[in-house]
Structure 1
Amino acid sequence: MSRVTDTTNSAQPKSHGVRALKWLLATGLALSMWVVADNWGDLLRDRSAPAANTAHSSSAPLTPEQIEQGRYLALAGNCMACHTTRGGTPWAGGRRTDTPFGGVYSSNLTPDPDTGLGRWTAQDFWKALHRGRSKDGRLLAPAFPYNHTSVITRPDSDAIFAWLNTLPPVVQAQPAHTLVWPVGTQPALAVWRSLFFEPSPFQADKSQTAEWNRGAYLVQGLGHCAACHSPRNALGASGPVRDLSGGLMPVVNWYAPDLTHDAESGLASTPLPEIVRLLRTGGSTTAQTSGPMGEVVQHSLQHLKEPDLQAMAIYLQSRAQSTPQPAPGKAPPPRISLQVATLGGKVYENQCLQCHGEQGEGVKTASGEVAYPALAGNRAVLLSDPTNLVQLVLYGGYGPATQGHPRPFGMPPAVLELQDRDIAAVLTHLRSHWGNRAGEVTPLQVNRIRAAQGP
């Protein structure tokens, strides 16, 4: 007697599996096409409209005034800081920027034809700023903040490029990046850009003044303030160009304060002239800059024109004043062990009291600028994240030397003198005395920052 086998049920799973595989392949193909179009589609559009593509490059040569404007804009963007190795030839590139994924080396911006911009056109340069892509179509690593340079207008881009072409050409090839695989590959960069990069050409807010809009343009574009003052996600992407909500800067281990929160930045309550003074000189009657912000003042902001600093201050202050601030409250005194309190007071007396005073009152110069900052009520002392305090005690605090503040007072490093528990205790002392109400700093927090700097 023959047996009939029902194959209907056994064939069904196979057919579902085939359909699922086809769906996955189709979805993967569609996503791949989207990523390719998103990163290189404009090349096809440019080829189909060459007249529009060459409109700027065929214009008349820039005037000396425009070229000088390019030099000024390059200063405003602090470009030389990244595109110059320490002790090397200015603008020849090769400086390493460390990221959580490895090292990225800056490119040569001098007009050398083989290793620099000598064969580039103004259109190529504009594409690098606006699309984050090299002359040959290669996608650039986002250590170059092209989300911010995409804000820059075409006339300003052309002026910067024209000025760079006046520099002496320097033969210096860009070293190969040392990013971990596959982070530095073109496919990985393309996917990252499709997820996190969108060009942001500047659009003036018609409800605001020309001065406010100038400040917004400088802060969002050349100043690239959000590159530090916004949080970064696990894949290294920062917030939008307008995001000034603060965040920990990876690798360098400094906390960039929330510029929209007055308790962290003081921008909402500080008089406008004092904000301008801080940007121009690195010091004011209420604050000092150090660390990465001190470098920005040193290499860039001190060289800007007064109207531009005023415009930036107006924009930043308006952002802080228009952001809802948390209601002030009285935090309960932090609980600190007797051992930590005793050690902290002893270290303060031996190491800090002479400059910062018995009551943390600090010292000011005859002109009213901060010499040794007051610690009572100090915003940097009260930050919920004590990273900056640890950095300052470990490695010293030195403001930038500027024309308006040529001999800033400094704080010596204690990295070789104090142990982690000493630093944690004295910082806890600062954060819990003279009306300060902030949390305890632990030896582990100090050790992590000390260890991150290497031997």
Structure 2
Amino acid sequence: MKRRFAVAAALLASLTLAGGAVYQLNHLDESIEPKPPALATPALLARGEYLARAGNCMGCHTRRGGVPYAGGRAIPTPFGDVFAPNLTPDLATGLGQWSEADFWAALHNGRSKDGRLLTPAFPYTNYTLVTRDDADALFAYLRSLPATAQANPAHELRFPYNTQPALALWRALYFRPAVFQAEPSRGAEWNRGAYLSQGLGHCNACHGARNSLGATQGPDDFSGGMLESLAWYAPSLHDPAEASVAAWSPSALRQWLKTGSSPSASALGPMGEVVLGSTQHLTDADLKAMAVYLQGLPQHSASEPAPKRPDLALREQGQALYGDHCASCHGEQGEGKAAAYPALAGNRALLMQNPANLLRIIQRGGFAPATASNPRPYGMPPFAGILSDKEQAALASFVRNAWGNKAADVRPLDVLQLKTQRVD
């Protein structure tokens, strides 16, 4: 009996200590310097609008066909849907009763006005790096928007992910508030690019590898990962075989971020939305800074899987399908057409280990964003209603292994598995 009591007491003490540690870790750096409300000058509002573009805030906080920034868009996660809230200054449903300090606590600490812990689908793991001055300018701009009364839908997270204790434990494991600190050994331009990419731009919210609980290794990890709820793959920016831009010319990278197109690539899928709503609006100086930072990322390649036996019959079927549906635009030898249709020969977007993006483009078409600098980009029609799962796999397998390309075949099961994922 005494032994059982001792074990129970030790367990209770351990749980108490763990609970205290979780509490402490969820209340780090919460002292907020009192400041008088910022005067909403035209210059401050312009700066805030620019920062909102840099963060692509409207992209998540506007439902399809809805009022900009009024919220309501579902953000799919592996744990259920999260709905982006109303950022307009409506008193009942928006930010009308918030202060600059409340807004700073949301960005920096991941806490709502009432003290609730926010779900990390709101990427405060990145936004914590934003400076207080930038947060105040962004808030001033949001307060200047027309107030729109639109109630926030309740999140549809599964248990236990919809509980505050689960969020507290997640934050204790994976979140520490920290304003961006410039790297003294780097120049001002590199640091500006790092600030934009790691902070407001939250690039690794898509391009970061996530563990089973949805956490990344930090805002400077761009190892790539599957956006399972969107059925797209965000490729690694560290890997020369995926999406590293280290070998690009700086001008080509700036052009791609500005227009969504470059001589060798187009921004499609979720990245097309980012270019449309965010990077095309950035200044040339900031685009150059981001290019300097992204081109300086550490380079490393993922390990290649063991080669599989090629399915020659599947590739032969794909060759016929390519001739019928693709060759007129992309060329008999996959050479493409400059400024119109991308070359497929040597195109690394086709050759990644994960074929999800190639299949999504075959299924849903390829549409670069219509930006101010490229208002009428060429597009590719969808083939989901024309090609069966086996035919899509055959076509993908052919283009991944023609004209000097070399990659694993795509199986019909790969197509089926991708189709079963949530797609908005």
Normalising to structure 1: TM-score of the pair? Answer: 0.89
Distance across 2 between alignment mates of 1:422 and 1:204: 51
The alignment status of 1:342 with 2:316, answered yes or no, reads: yes
Describe the SS at the equivalent of 1:452.
coil
Distance across 2 between alignment mates of 1:309 and 1:359: 34
Amino acid paired to 2:374: H
Distance across 1 between alignment mates of 2:229 and 2:315: 31
Distance across 2 between alignment mates of 1:268 and 1:116: 42
Which of 66, 89, 98 is the aligned partner of 2:44?
Answer: 66
The alignment status of 1:432 with 2:401, answered yes or no, reads: yes
Which of 185, 197, 200 is the aligned partner of 1:219?
Answer: 197
Q: Which residue of 2 aligns with 1:377?
A: 346
Which of 196, 214, 219 is the aligned partner of 1:236?
Answer: 214
CA contact (8 A) 2:231 2:423 kept: no
CA contact (8 A) 1:334 1:437 kept: no
CA contact (8 A) 1:92 1:172 kept: yes
Shift of 1:177: 0.8
Amino acid paired to 1:247: G
Which of 89, 109, 115 is the aligned partner of 2:87?
Answer: 109
Q: Which residue of 2 aligns with 1:34?
A: 21
CA contact (8 A) 1:108 1:172 kept: yes
Shift of 1:99: 1.1
The alignment status of 1:353 with 2:353, answered yes or no, reads: no
CA contact (8 A) 2:38 2:136 kept: no
Distance across 2 between alignment mates of 1:452 and 1:343: 26
Instruction: Decide which structure has the larger Cα Rg and report it.
Output: 1
Amino acid paired to 1:218: L
Normalising to structure 2: TM-score of the pair? Answer: 0.96
Which of 369, 375, 387 is the aligned partner of 1:418?
Answer: 387
CA contact (8 A) 2:364 2:384 kept: yes
Aligned CA RMSD, in angstroms, stands at 2.0
Which residues in structure 2 correspond to 1:24-423 (within 5 Å)? 24-40=11-27, 46=31, 53-54=33-34, 57-58=35-36, 61-319=39-297, 322-324=298-300, 335-365=309-339, 371-423=340-392
Render the CA deviation track for 1:51-95: whole Å, top value 9, x for unaligned: x631xx226525321221011000110001111111111111111
Q: Which residue of 1 aligns with 2:410?
A: 441
Shift of 1:337: 3.0
Q: 1:428 to 1:175 in 2, by over 3 A?
A: same
Task: In structure 2, list runs of 5 or more residues that go unmatched.
Answer: none
Percent identity between matched residues is: 49
Describe the SS at the equivalent of 2:226.
strand
Describe the SS at the equivalent of 1:159.
helix
Describe the SS at the equivalent of 1:262.
coil
Distance across 1 between alignment mates of 2:341 and 2:309: 28
Distance across 2 between alignment mates of 1:66 and 1:397: 38
Render the CA deviation track for 1:135-191: whole Å, top value 9, x for unaligned: 110111111000011010000000000111111111111111111112111111111
Deviates more, 1:233-242 or 1:298-307: 233-242
CA contact (8 A) 1:364 1:372 kept: yes
Distance across 2 between alignment mates of 1:414 and 1:385: 20
Q: 1:104 to 1:326 in 2, by over 3 A?
A: closer
Distance across 2 between alignment mates of 1:210 and 1:182: 44
Shift of 1:324: 4.9
Amino acid paired to 1:355: C
Render the CA deviation track for 1:196-222: whole Å, top value 9, x for unaligned: 112231010111111111000000001
Give the number of aligned pairs.
424
